[in-house]
């Protein structure tokens, strides 16, 4: 009969092995998730099975920025989201966070994408400024800083820290920093390529609406509705069609690259 000492030793060894094995498995899983490499696994070559959530900024009582001629940001963003959906729906499952003119809470926008296990989240806005000369296109990805609610007037008085948001959820987007940056670069490049517009750059910012997205996420600000010349353009359906085409191409380029990486 074995001594209690040997039995205890064997039991300890078994427990140590179990704990090591557990950490090994956990670290592989975590590494994959952190690298953002598993979110597209299992997708077919053509993109079937991929869910893209488009978020038309503002809505309802919140008009967003309003142009000198009365054009509202909330209407432009909805038109754009609908136009992008039309272009992408043949290949992907495309959902909108709002489908008409009503308000939804900022937290609910990324939460919708999370609930649907979306692969990408794209929030669509136009720029707004008290300076009528402000113009151009900017594409944002999460900066990894503390989340701030950022209004359509970036850098203006409407930024505030989010004390109500969950710190856990805010960290979710950190897993996708690299993917979100790549997505932003692809989309920005396509938009700049098809629009004759001032390039405000592709940059990191602590934008609240994308902070809790559990997938690559970006926010695009296309044109300034407060700029008289750009308001005119943004009120033109043909111009919106060009923007929608650029957005669709950028999204498609990113998805196809990601699928290729998984397959290679
Ligand atoms: Zn906005």
Distance from residue 28's CA to the centre of ligand 1 (Å)? 39
Residue 143 has what pLDDT? 87
Distance from residue 102's CA to the centre of ligand 1 (Å)? 14
Alpha-helical (H) ranges within 102-211 are 106-115, 167-172, 177-194, 208-211
Point out which residues pair with 72 in neighbouring strands. Answer: 66
Domain boundaries, the chain: 1-34, 51-263
Residue 257 has what pLDDT? 92
Q: How many helices (H) and strands (E) does the chain have?
A: 8, 8
Residue 162 has what pLDDT? 43
Alpha-helical (H) ranges within the chain are 4-34, 73-88, 106-115, 167-172, 177-194, 208-211, 228-234, 237-263
Residue 263 has what pLDDT? 72
The angle at the Cα of 115, spanning 112 to 121, to the nearest 5 degrees, equals 50
The yes or no reply on domain 51-263 and CATH 3.40.50.2000 is no
CA distances from 201 to 139, 141, 144, 189 (A): 7, 11, 18, 10
What span, in angstroms and rounded, lies between the C-alpha atoms of 12 and 18? Answer: 10
What span, in angstroms and rounded, lies between the C-alpha atoms of 118 and 54? Answer: 10
Distance from residue 152's CA to the centre of ligand 1 (Å)? 4
Task: Tokens for 187, please give them.
Answer: 């989309």
List residues, by chain if needed, whose CB lies under 5 Å from ion ligand 1: 57, 64, 125, 152
Task: Tokens for 174, please give them.
Answer: 């950190």
Residue 8 has what pLDDT? 67
Give all strands of the β-sheet with 137-142 in edge-to-edge order: 93-96, 51-56, 120-127, 217-224, 137-142, 199-205
Distance from residue 185's CA to the centre of ligand 1 (Å)? 20
Distance from residue 24's CA to the centre of ligand 1 (Å)? 44
Phi–psi pair at 243, nearest 5 degrees: -60, -45
Point out which residues pair with 203 in neighbouring strands. Answer: 140
Distance from residue 222's CA to the centre of ligand 1 (Å)? 10
For the chain, which residues score pLDDT lower than 70? 1-47, 146-170
Residue 141 has what pLDDT? 94
Distance from residue 154's CA to the centre of ligand 1 (Å)? 9
């Amino acid at each position: 009969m074995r001594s209690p000492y040997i039995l205890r030793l064997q039991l300890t060894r078994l427990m140590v092995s179990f704990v090591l094995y557990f950490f090994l498995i956990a670290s592989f899983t975590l590494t994959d998730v952190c690298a953002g490499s598993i979110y597209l696994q299992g997708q077919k070559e053509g993109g079937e099975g991929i869910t893209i959530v488009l978020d038309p900024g503002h809505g309802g009582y919140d008009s967003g920025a309003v142009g000198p001629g009365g054009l509202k940001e909330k209407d432009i963003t909805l038109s754009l989201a609908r136009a992008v959906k039309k272009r992408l729906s043949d290949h992907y499952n495309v959902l909108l966070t709002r489908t008409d003119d009503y308000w939804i809470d900022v937290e609910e926008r990324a939460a919708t994408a999370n609930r649907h296990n979306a692969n990408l989240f794209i929030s669509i806005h136009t720029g707004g400024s008290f300076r009528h000369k402000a113009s151009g296109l900017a594409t944002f990805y999460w900066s990894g800083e503390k989340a701030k609610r950022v209004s359509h007037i970036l850098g203006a008085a409407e930024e505030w820290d989010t004390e109500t948001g969950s710190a856990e959820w805010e960290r979710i987007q950190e897993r996708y920093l690299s993917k979100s940056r790549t997505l932003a670069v692809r989309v920005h490049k396509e938009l700049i390529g098809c629009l004759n517009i001032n390039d405000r750059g592709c940059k990191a910012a602590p934008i609240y609406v994308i902070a809790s997205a559990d997938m690559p996420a970006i926010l695009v600000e296309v044109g300034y509705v407060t700029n008289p010349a750009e308001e005119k353009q943004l009120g033109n359906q043909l111009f919106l069609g060009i923007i929608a085409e650029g957005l669709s191409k950028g999204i498609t380029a990113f998805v196809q690259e990601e699928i290729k990486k998984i397959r290679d």
